[in-house]
């Protein structure tokens, strides 16, 4: 079990200083973690992560890769490729009680200086949580090779845009 670590808006996370722009998705004992790295985000970009802003999340599995996509506020769709095999700790997907879902910690990090610009907690819908659990547990039952995963990921990024992946996704939930 992981030791609790407090994080707060404005905090500088040294390992994120100079991080490439992009996204990370992980699932652990605390739920889903979605990190978006922007190089020196503008105030309007930071504002899109606020709790009163729209949030939509979709999912599809392509060639053994789970693609989580998210629309945060009025920003463009973002993709968060995921394999539970790449998690630091083997994920445990708890059973989902009726009316409940997994939690998401959504973070915006300024990759230029490692500063946590925004933090938002979101609850996935019950339906989406169950679909995610089924896909992720299915992935864990299959053999995994990191080189094959990376080759498949590069092939899929060459073949599809993020918007095409969004349109192919079969599972979704949204907060208006």
Q: What pLDDT is recorded for position 6? A: 78
Burial of 27 (0-12, 13-18, 19+ CB in 10 A): buried
Number of domains the chain is built from: 1
Is 73 contained in some domain? yes
Nearest Cα residue to 53 out of 68, 21, 75, 80: 75
Virtual CA dihedral for 10, 11, 17, 23, nearest 10 degrees?
-70
Is 30 contained in some domain? yes
Q: What distances in angstroms separate CA 114 from CA 24, 40, 157, one per listed residue? A: 15, 10, 27
Q: Classify each residue of 74-108 as buried b or exposed e, where b means 16 or more C-beta atoms within 10 Å of its C-beta.
A: ebebbbbbbbbbeeeeebebeebeeeebbebbbbb
What is the domain range of residue 46? 14-175
pTM of the model: 0.92
Q: What pLDDT is recorded for position 4? A: 54
CA triple 83-88-92, angle to 5 deg: 70
Q: What pLDDT is recorded for position 3? A: 53
Is 37 contained in some domain? yes
Nearest Cα residue to 156 out of 56, 70, 66, 71: 66
Is 111 contained in some domain? yes
Q: What pLDDT is recorded for position 90? A: 85
- Counting as low any pLDDT under 70, the low residues of the chain are 1-5
Is 9 contained in some domain? no
In three-state form (DSSP H/G/I as H, E/B as E, the rest C), the secondary structure along 27-82 is EECCEEEEEEEECCCCHHHHHCCCCCCCEEEEEEEECCEEEEEEEECCCCCEEEEE
CA dihedral sign of residues 140, 87, 30, 124:
negative
């Amino acid at each position: 079990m992981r030791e609790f670590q407090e994080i707060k808006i404005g905090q500088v996370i040294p390992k994120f200083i100079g991080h490439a722009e992009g996204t990370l998705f992980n699932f652990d004992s605390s739920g889903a973690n979605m990190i978006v790295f922007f190089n020196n985000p503008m105030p309007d970009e930071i504002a899109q992560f606020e709790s009163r802003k729209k949030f939509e999340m979709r999912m599809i599995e392509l060639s053994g890769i789970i693609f989580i996509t998210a629309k945060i506020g009025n920003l463009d769709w973002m993709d968060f490729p995921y394999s539970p095999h790449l998690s630091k700790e083997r994920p445990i997907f708890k059973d989902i009680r009726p009316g409940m879902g997994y939690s998401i910690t959504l973070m915006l990090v300024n990759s230029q200086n490692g500063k946590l610009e925004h933090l938002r907690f979101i609850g996935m819908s019950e339906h989406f949580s169950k679909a995610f659990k089924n896909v992720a547990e299915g992935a864990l039952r299959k053999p995994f090779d990191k080189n094959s995963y990376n080759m498949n990921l590069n092939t899929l990024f060459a073949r599809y845009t993020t918007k095409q992946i969004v349109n192919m996704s079969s599972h979704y939930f949204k907060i208006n």
